[in-house]
Each structure stands twice: as C-alpha cells, then as structure tokens.
Amino acid sequence: MEMDKQDKSVLRHDHYPANAAEYEAELTETETEYEAKLEATEEAYTEKLEAVEESAKKQAQRYILWGSLSVIVNISMFYVFYRMLGIEYQIANFMAWVLSVQCAFWVDRMIVFKHQSSHPFREMGTFYGTRVVTYILESAILWIGISLLGIPGTFTKIIGHGLAVVGNFFLSKLVVFRKK
C-alpha cells in the first residue's frame, strides 16, 4: 500500500491545463525549450567537430613538415648505400628504412602527435610493426620498378616511399599514437 502512494506522488503535476489555450501554450513552451536545448547541443557538437578538424589539420601539417626529415634520411641513405657504396638495392633499402624509421619514431612521438606515455619502447615496437607493412609495400614497388620495369632506382624509391608516407601517417595516427 505504501508503494502505491510513492508511485503516484511521482506522477503529480502542480498545474494541469484548464483549456485548450493553456494546453497549447504549455506545449509551445515545451517545444521551445526542446528546440533551444537541441540548438545548444548542435552548437556544442559543431564546435567540438571544428576543434577536432583543426587538430587533425595541424597534425597533418606537422607530419608533412617534420616527416620530410625522415623522408630525406630514407632517400639520401638509400642513395648513399645503393649508388655510392654499390650495395644491392633491397639491402640498401632495408638499411635506409631502419635509420629513417628510428628518426621518424622520435619525431612523430614528440613533435607530430605530441604523444606522452610511460611506455615509449612498447610504442616503438608497435611503430616498427606498422612500418613493416609499408616497408613491404615499398620493397615490392622497388622490385617491380627496378627489376621488372627497369626504372632507375632512386626514382622508383621516391615513388614507393611517397606511397609509404601516406600509409605511415594513418597507421601512426590510428594505431601507434592514438588517444586512449
């Protein structure tokens, strides 16, 4: 019996509309309140979306600016190993890759994604793991370009590495340095 009194008290309303005009006025007021809340929510969502877009744009700009450092390391070291030292192109590519990935990890971690965690070596392992995927892509492009099509090695390297850079950005952003 006590339970029934509690349930009914929750349903109490101080004022019930006495006529159609009062009912319509209360309904309009409720709709206006709802629309105002909805508009405020949409504005907050739009502001947050714009902030995320701006952050992503700045990340991409930093990646292009600072990522060019690892590109320069990769291509110049490939040129040194392959052209100047006469090392076989796949071995030269691997050696250049190791040096540029190490450079890229620290630049991406500290400058591009501004990522801080207490596990930098775990991140480095994940970073190298994702870079293996694009390394395989780049090696395949080198093999096709140099061995099958006879395209000069440095030119083929630039094409392959350009595709790898795009993949590396998304893998770094979505896998290695994602915000938790």
- State residue 5's pLDDT score: 52
| Start-end of H helices in the chain | 2-10, 20-79, 89-107, 120-142, 153-171
pLDDT at 14: 65
70-95 pLDDT per residue, tens:
889 988 999 999 999 999 988 998 99
Tell me what pLDDT residue 38 has: 80
Asked if residues 142 and 90 have their Cβ atoms less than 8 Å apart, the reply is yes
pLDDT lower than 70: segments of the chain:
1-15, 180
Residues 6+ apart with CB under 8 A from 126: 175, 176
